[in-house]
Amino acid sequence: EVQLVQSGAEVRKPGESLKISCQASGYNFTRKWIGWVRQMPGKGLEWMGIIYPADSDTRYSPSFQGQVTISADKATSTAFLQWSSLKASDTAMYYCARHLRGNSGLDYWGQGALVTVSS
Amino acid sequence: AIQMTQSPSSLSASVGDRVTITCRASQGIRNDLGWYQQKPGKAPKLLIYAASSLQSGVPSRFSGSGSGTDFTLTISSLQPEDFATYYCLQDYNYPYTFGQGTKVEIK
């Protein structure tokens, strides 16, 4: 059974760093793209970026390029999303999701991780 | 980046109604479009991929159509569990982009 299990809710202050995780199981982690999606409170879905764990090929939305870093650890089948200096505007729910191939869509999703940035 | 314009932003409908949601891409995206359902407090769920392919386990009252720039999600007979927000997502090229969402509410 394919599962994506995300790390728990986080509360940080502006300027702090953070790394959240998404652990995959039930499929060959290295051979499927895995992406991140942001949802700010009461707002729609925003595609942030995606990584191919086999070779760490990573693509970012221009809106998030330079603001976050996406990475993956093949040994633990885990994808990561990290910030070096959080802002209050980073407060949101973050989802990871698997992209099987081509136009197959994002077929499995993590449960989401709520990040709250407040002084 | 490709812009996805989804309409309407919200609609009210009754159980049993036929519901149609549209998504228009700012350029041709072949059939590289998916539809997602999101209920409050839950992760999105893939309903349709490749514009018209029903994801495994999704009820057949959901269908998708379109190619190029214009796409449609249809719910043939709305059920109580279908009240949710629906999004389209183009996976034609990077950056992938979502539509703004359509909230389907009970009339």
Per-residue pLDDT band for A101 (boundaries 50, 70, 90) equals: confident
What is residue A100's predicted lDDT score, i.e. its pLDDT?
84
H, E, C per residue of chain A = CCEEEECCCEEECCCCCEEEEEEEECCCHHHCEEEEEEECCCCCEEEEEEEECCCCEEEECCCCECCEEEEEECCCCEEEEEECCCCHHHCEEEEEEEECCCCCCEEEECCCEEEEECC
A99 touches chain B (CB under 8 A): yes
Sorting pLDDT into bands at 50, 70 and 90, what band is A92?
Answer: very high
Give the confidence band of A118 by pLDDT, cuts at 50, 70, 90. very high
Q: What is the pLDDT of residues B54-102, one digit of tens each?
A: 999 999 999 999 999 999 999 999 999 999 999 999 999 999 999 999 9
Q: Name, in order, each residue with C-beta under 8 angstroms of B59's C-beta and a sequence gap of 6 or more.
A: B79
Report chain A residues whose CB lies below 8 A from the CB of B46. 105-107
Cα A72 to the center of its chain, rounded Å: 10
pLDDT for residue A102 is more than 90: no
pLDDT in tens, A10-66: 999 999 999 999 999 999 999 999 999 999 999 999 999 999 999 999 999 999 999
Asked if A60 and B89 come within 8 Å (Cβ–Cβ), the reply is: no
> Which residues in chain B have their CB less than 8 angstroms from residue A9's CB?
none
> Which chain A residue is nearest to residue B43, measuring alpha carbons?
A111
pLDDT tens-digit profile of A56-78? 999 999 999 999 999 999 999 99
CB contact under 8 A, B95 and A107: no
From B32, B91, B98, residue closest to A45, measured CB to CB: B98
Question: What is the average per-residue pLDDT within A98-117?
Answer: 94
Whether A107 has its CB under 8 Å from any CB of chain B: the answer is yes
